[in-house]
């Protein structure tokens, strides 16, 4: 078990927190705007300094507003996991979208043709059967469908594992005039099981090496691709250094969270997303109950992580462990027995920002003057 509590997580002093809590009903999701903007800028700078495009994964924030902030600061487009996320982002004005996923359901293919006619959309592919599924819908379209072959760099999820299969799929794609082999991509999700920074670095280097080798192999066979894409928040700073890589797709870095802190991929003062909750009961002197349960904090204690986090989030303004959750209750064990005022605020760093954001309808964006703006989590629950 690992605790990620640090005084540097503190974002508001007591009176600022009370002031905010008076005007925000709870549970609520707060974004600290200057931290958010700094995170976006820092990742963009990392990409720029390494001559790479940044195509951030928006599954973390699922908000068109934040996607536009990323694009304004230099992102070349966005990455989504789902077609429905891509549709929402297109409606909000984003017109260059990589769906880093395989699309095989017939109803999705019908929707994909529409999106494809409206904006630039690229999809993932790792199996020649997918060509047959896409053919009836796309073979007569004027604009070819751009695809990127997914390479498995050790996560053992989707992706091509060997050169023979890679060449076979690339040649099959090249033989179809309605398809355009735009790139190759990988995601080293196994990094979330790493336990040291050295391991994270090794996984990041291996992630880049896997696409570098695939790229070189295709080149030797006379097949050129435009984009060589890698992506995860912890590996970005390692994989981007490889000269073959020309695109990174981190997502979580806009917020960071408890999991990123356990991996050493973020500093406490970079965390920008917090759940604001209210104390509703104090059954014992060392226990309080808040109005945020599993429907606000999620049950995630480290997605694939070997180092389970202590509790279901990290309370920042009171030293305590979130020991148990019901759907709408969080049960906190206080480090020190004390009387806690009912109705007082508790601010919590979520363990996993991406899954927590998906549970809420809106963010309360707080600027340095404690002014507040509400922004929609427009693609929340979009999983089809
Ligand atoms: C294909 C793909 N690319 C990029 C990312 C972004 O990684 P992270 O959440 O570490 O920022 C993910 C995350 O799941 C992913 O699946």
Percentages helix, strand, coil for the chain (3-state, rounded to 5) are 35, 25, 40
pLDDT, position 333: 98
Q: For residues 41 and 325, give the distance between their C-alpha atoms in angstroms, rounded to a whole number.
A: 35
Instruction: For residue 59, report the distance from its CA to the centre of ligand 1, in Å.
Output: 8
Rounded CA-CA distance 347/16 in Å is 12
- Atom of ligand 1 at shortest distance to CA of 192? 10
Task: Determine the distance from the C-alpha atom of residue 167 to the mean position of all C-alpha atoms in its chain, rounded to a whole number.
Answer: 30
Q: Which of 240, 251, 350 to mutate to test the pocket of ligand 1 (most atoms within 8 A of CB)?
A: 251
Q: Which CATH number fits domain 95-250: 3.30.1330.10, 3.20.20.10, 3.50.50.60, 2.60.40.10?
A: 3.20.20.10
Give backbone dihedrals phi and psi of 40, rounded to 5 degrees, phi first. -60, -45
Run means of pLDDT, 10 residues per run, the chain, 384 residues: 88 95 98 98 98 98 98 98 98 98 97 98 98 97 96 97 97 98 97 92 98 98 98 97 98 97 94 98 98 96 72 97 98 98 98 96 97 96 93
Ligand 1 contact via 233 beta carbon (within 6 Å) = yes
The predicted pLDDT at position 305 comes to 57
Cβ(204) to ligand 1 under 6 A? no
**Buried/exposed 167-181: b ≥16 CB within 10 Å, e otherwise:** bebbebbeebebbbb
Ligand 1, atom 8, lies closest to the CA of 232
pTM over 0.85: yes
Q: How do the domains of the chain map onto residue ranges?
A: 7-32+260-376, 95-250
> CB neighbours of 106 closer than 8 A, spacing ≥ 6?
133
Closest ligand 1 atom to 191 CA = 10
Q: What number of other Cβ atoms are within 10 A of residue 107's Cβ?
A: 9
Residue 38: strand, helix, or coil: helix
CATH class (in words) of the domain with range 7-32+260-376: mainly beta
159 lines ligand 1 (CB under 6 A): no
Q: Is the CB of 260 under 6 A from ligand 1?
A: no
The response to whether residue 265 sits with its C-beta less than 6 Å from ligand 1 reads: no
Q: Residue 306: its pLDDT value, please?
A: 59
Q: Give residue 127's pLDDT.
A: 98
């Amino acid at each position: 078990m690992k605790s990620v509590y640090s005084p540097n997580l503190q974002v508001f002093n007591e009176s600022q927190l009370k002031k905010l809590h008076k005007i925000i009903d709870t549970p609520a999701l707060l974004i600290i705007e200057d931290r958010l903007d700094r995170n976006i800028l820092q990742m963009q700078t990392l990409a720029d300094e390494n001559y790479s495009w940044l195509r951030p994964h928006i599954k973390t924030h699922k908000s068109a507003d934040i996607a536009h902030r990323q694009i304004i600061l230099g992102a070349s487009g966005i990455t989504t996991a789902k077609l429905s996320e891509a549709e929402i982002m297109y409606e909000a004005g984003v017109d260059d979208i990589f769906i880093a996923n395989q699309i095989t359901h017939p109803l999705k293919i019908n929707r994909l043709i529409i999106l494809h006619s409206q904006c630039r959309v690229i999809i993932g592919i790792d199996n020649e059967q997918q060509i047959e599924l896409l053919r009836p819908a796309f073979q007569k379209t004027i604009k070819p469908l751009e695809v990127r072959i997914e390479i498995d760099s050790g996560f053992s999820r989707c992706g091509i594992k060997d050169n023979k299969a890679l060449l076979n799929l690339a040649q099959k794609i090249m033989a179809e005039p309605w398809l355009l082999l735009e790139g190759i991509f990988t995601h080293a999700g196994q990094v979330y099981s790493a336990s040291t920074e050295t391991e994270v670095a090794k996984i990041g280097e291996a992630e880049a090496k896997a696409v570098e080798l695939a790229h070189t192999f295709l080149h030797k066979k006379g097949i050129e691709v435009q984009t060589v894409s890698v992506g995860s928040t912890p590996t970005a700073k390692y994989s981007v250094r490889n000269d073959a890589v020309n695109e990174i797709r981190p997502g979580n870095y806009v917020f960071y969270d408890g999991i990123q802190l356990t991996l050493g991929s973020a500093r406490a003062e970079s965390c920008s997303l917090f759940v604001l909750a209210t104390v509703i009961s104090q059954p014992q002197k060392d226990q309080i109950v808040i109005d945020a349960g599993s429907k606000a904090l999620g049950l995630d204690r480290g997605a694939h992580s070997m180092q389970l986090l202590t509790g279901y989030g990290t309370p920042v303004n009171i030293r305590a462990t979130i020991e148990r959750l019901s759907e709408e209750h969080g049960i906190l064990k206080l480090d020190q027995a004390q009387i806690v005022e009912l109705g007082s605020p508790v601010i919590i760093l979520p363990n996993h920002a991406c899954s927590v954001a998906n549970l809420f309808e809106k963010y309360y964006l707080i600027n340095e003057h404690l002014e507040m703006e509400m922004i929609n989590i427009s693609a929340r629950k979009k999983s089809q």
